[in-house]
Amino acid sequence: MNSKPIQIKKEGPSDYERLRDEALVMVQKLSGHIWTDYNIHDPGVTMLEQLCFAMTDLRYKTGFPIEEILAGPTGHIDPKAHAFFNKGEVLSSGPVTTTDFCKLLLGQVVGVEQVWIEPVVAKSGSTICKGIFKVLVQPDESITTTGQYDQLKEDVKGCLMRYRSLGENFEEITILRPLNIAIKAAILVDGKQHVKETLAYICNTIEQTIHPPVRFLSEAELLAMGKTTEEIYSGPLLSGGFIPDEDLKPLRIQVDPAELIKAISSLDGVLQVKYLYLSLDGNNFSNKQVRIPSGYFASVDISNSMNDISIVSDQFEHHSQDALFWNVFERIKEIRKRHYTGQQVAMIDTTLQSTYRDLGKYYSIQHFFPAIYGIGREGISKDETDARKAQAKQLKGYLLFFEQVLANYAAQLGNISHFFSPAEKSTYFSQSLDDVPGIAQLLDPGYLDALPQTGESNERKEAVLDHLLARFNLPLLPYPITLFQRLYGGISTLEWKAGLLKKLPDLMYARIQAEAGGYQEALRQLLFIHQEQGERLTAVFEKSHLSITNDHPSEEFTVYISDEILHVVSEIPPDEEGYYFGHQPLHLLKYGIDPVHYRIVENHDHYLVLYKSPGQRIWQAVARHTTREAALAAQIAMIRHLKNISIQSEGFYVVEHTLLKPLFTDPVYGFRVKNSKGEVLKEAHHLTFVDREKALEDVSGHIEFFVMATPWHVLPESFFKFNITIVLSAWPARCQYEEFRRFTESLFRDLTPTQYKLKFRWLGVNDMRKFEAAYFDQDNKDKILDFLT
C-alpha cells in the first residue's frame, strides 16, 4: 500500500503569457477551420492580447492587500462602512457573574475601594433566595472621611439595578465601616538603608497587606502577564482599564500578625521583625489574630498616634514620621494605585489606515492598440475614406462590449466597501466608459442614465447581511418582518437586517440585562416592535380619533347595486364627516386594514364607505362624503389609521416574580411541617427570613415554605423562583395571527436563560388597561399579584 500522501497540485499564477496561450488554444478549437493565421501580426490576435493584458491588470489589482482595497481617498478605512467592530465591542459583554458586577462597581461608582457580592443561601433548603444577592462595599478614604455612606449606598444600588441580569435582584447592600487596627512593632533593618524610606515602605506594605488596592491595568500589561485577548475583554468594558481577577480578594474576616511579619520580612533591607502586636483599642496589644466583626472592614491609619512602629538600625531606634517619610509614603501609595484612565477611549478611537489605490478607475484598452487601427486618442486620419472611418468606428463599437465588462469589474473592486456596508443597498456596481476615445460618437447620452439600472433584487444584499450577522451567531428568521410588511408595509427585510447590524454591538452587550436597552430591546428589535420604553400600550386609544362607540342611534337601511342587495347599518351623525365603526370586535384591526373588506356605494346624494369583516352579514357604514373621491380618500385614511393603531400598540411587559418578593427583613415568611398524609404538624407565620432559618434548624419532615407577599396573598416560594410572566397585547393585527403568537413565544424562550420558566398572557384592551394600572403602580404590589395569581 502506498503511504505517500495524495497532494492536489495548485495551478500556477494567472500571468499574461499563460492567459494568452490558453486563449489562443480556445480560439483554435472554435475557429480553426476558417481562421488559420494565428501569428502576432494578425488583428484578431492583437485584440486577444489586449484583452488578456486588461484581465491581467485586473487580477493584479485584485491581489492588493484587503486593507488597501478598502481604504478611501484619504487612506482611512471607515469601520462603520465595512461593518467592522473593535474587539471591545464584540468580545466584551454586560456583567453576568458576581466577578463582573464587582468590576463594574469598581469602575463606575466613585467611592468604592473594594466590593464583595455573594448569593443569598438558605440552609433550610428554601429556594426563594435563588437569584438574590447581597453586596458588601468597602468605601475609600473620600467616603470614610466625609461619612457619605447613604449616598454611596444609593449609587451602588442604582448601578447594580441598571445592569442587573434578568430575574436577579440585589436586595441587601451593606456599606462597611472602617475598624481601625493599631500596630506596635519593632523592625531591625540594615544600617546601609535610608531609614525614612525604609519605614515608608514598611508602612505601605502593612496597608497593602491588610487591604490591597485594586489595580486598573492596560491591555499591554495583561498581555505581558500571559492573558489572552479573549480573557482580557471578557466581562464589562470599563473606562479606567482592566481589573485582573486576582485583585478581587476575599473579604478579610481576621488580621493575623504572622501574615504582616511575613510581608515585612520580604522587603529589601529588613533583617528581622523583632515583634509585631495588634490592638483594637490602642491599649491591649497582642500577637494573636484580630477578628473583624460583621459590618466592618480592617483599616490601618498610619498617621494615628495609637500606632508605634519603630525601626532599629545600628543600635539606634527611629519612630519619627517627618515630611520625608510622608513624601515617600504617598508616592509609593500613588504608584501602586495608578489608573489608566484613557485606556478604553484610546482603544475605541483607534483608526484604520492604509494606502489608497483608486482601484475603480478604468483605462481603456483602445489606448494600447497600434496607431494604424485608428481607434486611439489620435483617431483616424481625415484623409481616409469614409469606408475606412466606418471600419474604425465599427471596431470601437465591437470592443465596447468587452470594455464594459472590464470597467464594471474595476467598479466592483473599487466599491467593495459599499458591498459590505449596511447602509448601501447595491451589490452590483458599474461605470461609464468615459475613458474610451471618441465615446460620444458611439453611445447616446441616455446610456449613462440607464447603466446603473441593473434590476438588482434585494436577495444578494440580504445574503451579504446574513453573512455579517452570522459572524455573531445571530441567524434571523424573517417571518415577523415579512408579516409586518404584508400587513402594514413601509419596511423591507433588507432595511430591518441593516438596522440590526448597526445596533448589534449594543444588543449583544446587554442581551440578558433586565432594564431598558437589554433583553427587552433585543426582543423588540427581532420582532420589529415599535414600543416606546415607559409608554402604555393602550395609550394609543386615548390619542386616537377612532370612534368605536357612539351615542347617535343606529339606522338600518338597504342599498341596491345592480343585482346585489346590501344590508347596511349606520351610526354616523347627520351632516358630519369622519369615520365611525360602531361596536366592532377587535378583529377590526386585523380585517379593517385590507381594502377588500370595504365598499364605496352611492346612497341618495352621498357616497358611503361600507365595512364588513368575514362572517358578518350586515355592512357597517363607517364614513359618508359628498363625492366618491372624498369617500375613497376617507377609506385610505381609515386603513392607514388602523395600521398605526396596531403598530403603536404592539408590545409587551416583562414581570419578574423575583422583584415581587418581600424583603428578607420583612416578617412575612412562614413554614408548615406536614406528615406523610399531608396533615399540618407545625406552622409558623410572621418571621423574617433569618428568623425562619433559625426556627427550621431542629425541624425535619415534610416542610412547605410560603410567603405572605401581602396580607391577602400567601404564596408558595416556588412562585418567586425563576418565574417570569410576559404580558403582550392581543389586539394589534399582527398579534391576532396564531402563527405570530407561537413565533413570538418561541423567540422569547430562545433568548431567555434556560433556568427561567416563562408564562405568557395575551390580553385584550380592557384587561391590558387593568394590568397597566397595576404594573405602573410600583408602590402597590397587591394589584399585580391579583393579576398574576
739 and 631 in one domain? no
For the stretch 21-57, what's the b/e string if a residue is b when 16 or more beta carbons lie within 10 angstroms of its beta carbon?
eebbeeeeeeeeeeeeeeeeeeeebebbbbbbebbbb
613 and 571 in one domain? yes
Task: Give pLDDT, residue 112.
Answer: 94
Task: Give pLDDT, residue 576.
Answer: 57
Answer yes or no: is pLDDT of 641 > 80.
Answer: yes
691 and 732 in one domain? yes
Lookup: cell for 170: 440585589
642 and 724 in one domain? no
Segment 182-224, tens digit of pLDDT: 999 888 888 777 878 888 888 888 888 998 888 888 888 899 9
In a domain? residue 759:
yes
Answer yes or no: is pLDDT of 691 > 50.
Answer: yes
Task: Give pLDDT, residue 324.
Answer: 76
Task: Give pLDDT, residue 452.
Answer: 61
668 and 641 in one domain? no
Out of 649, 684, 715, a domain closes at 649
Percent of the chain with pLDDT over 70: 85
Task: Give pLDDT, residue 2.
Answer: 54
Task: Give pLDDT, residue 737.
Answer: 95
Higher pLDDT among residues 779 and 676, named by residue: 779
763 and 707 in one domain? yes
Contact call for residues 120 and 146 (beta carbons, < 8 A): no
pLDDT class of 422 with cuts at 50, 70, 90: confident
Sheet architecture: strand order including 316-318:
270-279, 182-189, 308-313, 316-318
Segment 700-724, tens digit of pLDDT: 445 666 676 766 776 777 787 888 9
Higher pLDDT among residues 207 and 761, named by residue: 761
Answer yes or no: is pLDDT of 312 > 70.
Answer: yes
CA–CA separation, 171 and 377 (whole Å): 82
Lookup: cell for 414: 473599487
Task: Give pLDDT, residue 481.
Answer: 93
Answer yes or no: is pLDDT of 176 > 70.
Answer: yes
Answer yes or no: is pLDDT of 170 > 90.
Answer: yes
Helix or strand run (H / E) with residue 134: strand 132-139
What mean pLDDT value characterizes the chain?
83
pLDDT class of 310 with cuts at 50, 70, 90: confident
Answer yes or no: is pLDDT of 516 > 90.
Answer: no
Sheet architecture: strand order including 555-561:
555-561, 564-570, 619-625, 606-611, 598-603
Among the residue ranges 223-232, 394-403, 688-697, the one predicted with the least confidence is: 688-697
Out of 620, 649, 678, a domain closes at 649
Name which of 442, 438, 441 is nearest 377 in CA terms: 438
| Three-class DSSP category at 253 | coil
749 and 661 in one domain? yes
In a domain? residue 1:
no
Helix or strand run (H / E) with residue 57: helix 43-62
659 and 742 in one domain? yes
For the stretch 272-290, what's the b/e string if a residue is b when 16 or more beta carbons lie within 10 angstroms of its beta carbon?
ebeebbbbbeeeebeeeeb
pLDDT class of 343 with cuts at 50, 70, 90: very low
In a domain? residue 768:
yes
Stretch 348-357: mean pLDDT: 74
743 and 620 in one domain? no
In a domain? residue 296:
no
Answer yes or no: is pLDDT of 346 > 50.
Answer: no
Pick the most confident of 103-117, 271-285, 302-316.
103-117
Name 422's Cβ contacts closer than 8 Å, sequence gap at least 6: 83, 465, 468, 497, 498, 499, 501, 502
Residue with cell 489574630: 289
In a domain? residue 720:
yes
Q: Which domain does 732 fall in, by range?
A: 655-788
Segment 24-65, tens digit of pLDDT: 888 888 877 776 666 666 788 889 989 999 999 999 999 999
Question: Going by DSSP bridges, is the β-strand pair 177-180/296-299 parallel, antiparallel, or unpaired?
Answer: parallel
Higher pLDDT among residues 736 and 515, named by residue: 736
CA–CA separation, 71 and 358 (whole Å): 9
Segment 532-559, tens digit of pLDDT: 877 899 888 876 655 545 555 677 778 7
599 and 559 in one domain? yes
Answer yes or no: is pLDDT of 686 > 70.
Answer: no
Answer yes or no: is pLDDT of 761 > 90.
Answer: yes
CA–CA separation, 594 and 680 (whole Å): 61
CA angle 597, 601, 606 (to 5 degrees): 130
Task: Give pLDDT, residue 257.
Answer: 92
Segment 575-631, tens digit of pLDDT: 555 566 656 678 889 998 999 999 888 888 888 888 888 888 888 888 888 888 988
607 and 560 in one domain? yes
Angstrom CA distances, 390 to 374, 376, 442, 445, 695, stand at: 11, 15, 11, 21, 109
For the chain, the straight-line distance linking the first and the last C-alpha, in angstroms and rounded, comes to 75
Answer yes or no: is pLDDT of 8 > 60.
Answer: no
Task: Give pLDDT, residue 616.
Answer: 83
779 and 668 in one domain? yes
Contact call for residues 88 and 350 (beta carbons, < 8 A): no
Stretch 227-239: mean pLDDT: 90
What domain count does the chain have? Answer: 2
Task: Give pLDDT, residue 153.
Answer: 95
Among the residue ranges 5-9, 81-85, 637-641, the one predicted with the least confidence is: 5-9
Task: Give pLDDT, residue 12.
Answer: 53
Contact call for residues 623 and 609 (beta carbons, < 8 A): yes
Out of 593, 620, 649, a domain closes at 649
Among the residue ranges 8-22, 150-164, 365-379, 461-475, the one predicted with the least confidence is: 8-22
Angstrom CA distances, 290 to 62, 137, 301, 513, stand at: 72, 21, 16, 41
In a domain? residue 597:
yes
In a domain? residue 639:
yes
Beta strands in 533-651 (DSSP E): 555-561, 564-570, 598-603, 606-611, 619-625
CA angle 229, 230, 236 (to 5 degrees): 105
Return the C-alpha torsion angle 645, 647, 649, 653, nearest 10: 180
In a domain? residue 522:
no
Angstrom CA distances, 508 to 165, 448, 732, stand at: 13, 44, 28
Give the number of other Cβ atoms within 10 Å of residue 501's Cβ: 21
Lookup: cell for 49: 492580447
Segment 255-283, tens digit of pLDDT: 999 999 999 999 888 888 999 999 888 78
